Structure 1
Amino acid sequence: MRLVIRGHRLPGRTCGPHANIHVGLQVRQDPVDLVPADAVSAQWVTNLRTDNGDFHGPAVHGRRGERFVYLTWGTVEADSFTMFRRAKVMLDGLPGDAEQITLDLDLTDESGMPRCARVQPTTITVGP
């Protein structure tokens, strides 16, 4: 199964004390496909497997029944990424038998900062 995460309304390259902010999908311990936080939109794609309704894959974290993927926020300096915040995109409730699932996310919270904690998609599209 393919999971597509589309982010919109990014918070900007500078927020609070943080500058040169980027966001990426966390695969194992590393952020991948970093996008500057002042981009118009962002998109990440990862492959998932399901086993009796339980999600698995290199970007999947959490315990059985509580699986999620992280969007990790950090500052970029030269070739170094320093994380300061993460958003958990929860996978529970998603169909395990779809070919593709697309999640649309608002990436800025109510105070104008990068969205973090548990994130619920604004829309979920199932299918190609």
Structure 2
Amino acid sequence: MRIEGREIPQSPQLRLGDVHVGMQRGREVVGRVPVTGTEAVWELEVVAREAGDLLDVGGPWVHGPPGARFLYLSWGSVSGDDFAMFGRAKLLFGDIPGPLLRSAFAGQGVLTGRLGLTDETGGPRCGRVRPPVITWSLQ
């Protein structure tokens, strides 16, 4: 699976605060990209299994209970080794069209989500991210 973020917010306050965005794996935020960049890409390994009529996803990147699984993009200020999180974007697997998700796990391509990381106010995108803000495709 691949998540491609573009349009990283570029405000001076975020730069002065040494703000980064990263993908949350368990409780750790990894693959952190500073707001001085213009784009961010994360490659994730997600597993799937049949659970009745559903395709249930899992792995260290996946959060939430069966039927409500999601990924977190986390925003925070960096100071040395410390990452002080102040916001997260939630990418729900339930927003991915079922046939697309099944095709990805059948090996027909890499499931790719593309989203802008700047919200309507010019700040970091947080909260639930739904189509059309995020688009899903096979690559």
Q: Distance in 1 between matches of 2:62 and 2:11?
A: 27
Amino acid at match of 2:76: G
Q: Which structure carries more strand by proportion?
A: 1
- In structure 1, the residue matched to 2:112 is 102
Amino acid at match of 1:102: T
Tell me by how many angstroms 1:38 deviates: 2.5
- In structure 1, the residue matched to 2:78 is 76
Q: Distance in 2 between matches of 1:105 and 1:83?
A: 20
- After the TM superposition, list the runs of 4 or more consecutive aligned residues in structure 1 that deviate by more than 3 angstroms: 13-16
- In structure 1, the residue matched to 2:92 is 90
Q: Which of 9, 17, 31 is 1:33 aligned to?
A: 31
Tell me by how many angstroms 1:40 deviates: 1.1
Residue aligned with 2:44, SS:
strand
Report sequence identity in percent. Answer: 38
Q: Distance in 2 between matches of 1:56 and 1:110?
A: 31
The superposition leaves residues 15-68 of structure 1 with CA deviations (integer Å, 9 ceiling, x where unpaired) of: 47x711000000000000100022110000111111120110100001111110
Structure 1 portions without partners, runs of 5+: none
Aligned pairs, number: 124
Amino acid at match of 2:56: D
Q: TM-score, normalised by structure 2?
A: 0.82
Question: RMSD in angstroms over aligned alpha carbons?
Answer: 1.7
Q: Distance in 2 between matches of 1:124 and 1:45?
A: 14
CA 1:13–1:20: 2 relative to 1, 3 Å: farther
- In structure 2, the residue matched to 1:54 is 56
Q: Distance in 2 between matches of 1:70 and 1:122?
A: 13
CA 1:24–1:41: 2 relative to 1, 3 Å: same
Q: Distance in 1 between matches of 2:71 and 2:121?
A: 23
**Which has the larger Rg?**
2
Q: Which structure carries more helix by proportion?
A: 2
